[in-house]
Amino acid sequence: MVELPAPSRTRNAAATRQAILDAAHNRFAKEGYDGASLREIAADAKVDAALVSRYFGSKEELFVEVLNCAPDASDLFEGTLSDFGTRVATKILDDRDVDQGVEYLLIMLRSASSLAAAEPLRRSMRTHFHDPFAAWLGGPQADVRARLAGDLIMGVCMSQAITSDHDLDEEGRASLRSRLAKVLQAAVEP
C-alpha cells in the first residue's frame, strides 16, 4: 500500500507523555480506574501499550499523575458567596461544554469503587477540591459546609452520569436548576 500520509509526529518524549496523559484522563473519566485499560489508553494516544508502563511505571502511578494535573476547581470560587448556588447550579447542569472541573469529578466517582485508586483519589480530592473550597468559604465549620456542598455536587453529577438526563424534560431541568441553587446555597451559608 501507499506510505502512511504523515508520520505526523517527530519523536518527542514530552509530547507523547502528554498525549498519554490526555488519553488516560479521558478514559479514566469515561470508564473509571478499573474499567480503563492501558491498551485502550495507549491506542488513543497512538502509542504502543508498553510505552505507558515505561513512562509512568505502573497504572496506579499514571492515575496519580492524571489526578495531579487536576485544576484547583478555582473557577467555582470566582464570584461572591451569595451568588454561589445559582452559579454552580448552572455550571453543573449546563453540561454541554463539560469543563475540566466536572471531568475530574467524573474520574473520581467512576473510580470510587476501585481499591487501588481509593487512596490517591482521597488525597487528590482533599488537596484539589475540599481544602481550597473550605478556605474560600471561611467562617464557622467551613469544612463541614464544604464537604456537604461537595457531596451534593458529586451526587448530582453522578446522577447525571448514570441517567444521562433521560428522564427530565426542559421544564423539569429548569426547576431542578433553581432548586439545586437554593439547596446548594443552604449548604454553604453559615
Partner DNA sequence: TGTAAAAGTCATCAACTGTTGACTTGGGCG
Partner DNA sequence: CGCCCAAGTCAACAGTTGATGACTTTTACA
26 is an interface residue for DNA by CB under 7 A: no
Report, in Å, the least distance between residue 158 CB and DNA: 23
Burial class, 67, CB count within 10 angstroms (exposed 0-12 / middle 13-18 / buried 19+): buried
Tell me the Ramachandran region of residue 165: left when phi exceeds 0, alpha when psi lies from -120 to 50, beta otherwise: left
Looking at the Cβ atoms of 16 and 132, the one nearer to a second copy is 132
Start-to-end Cα distance in the chain: 69
Query: What x-and-dash track marks residues 28-67 binding DNA by CB under 7 A?
Result: --------xxxxx------xxxxxxxx--xxxx-------
Interaction with a second copy in 105-164: which residues (CB under 8 A)? Answer: 108-115, 118, 121-122, 125-126, 141, 143-145, 147-148, 150-156, 158-159, 161-163
Cβ proximity to a second copy, 9 vs 126, nearer residue: 126
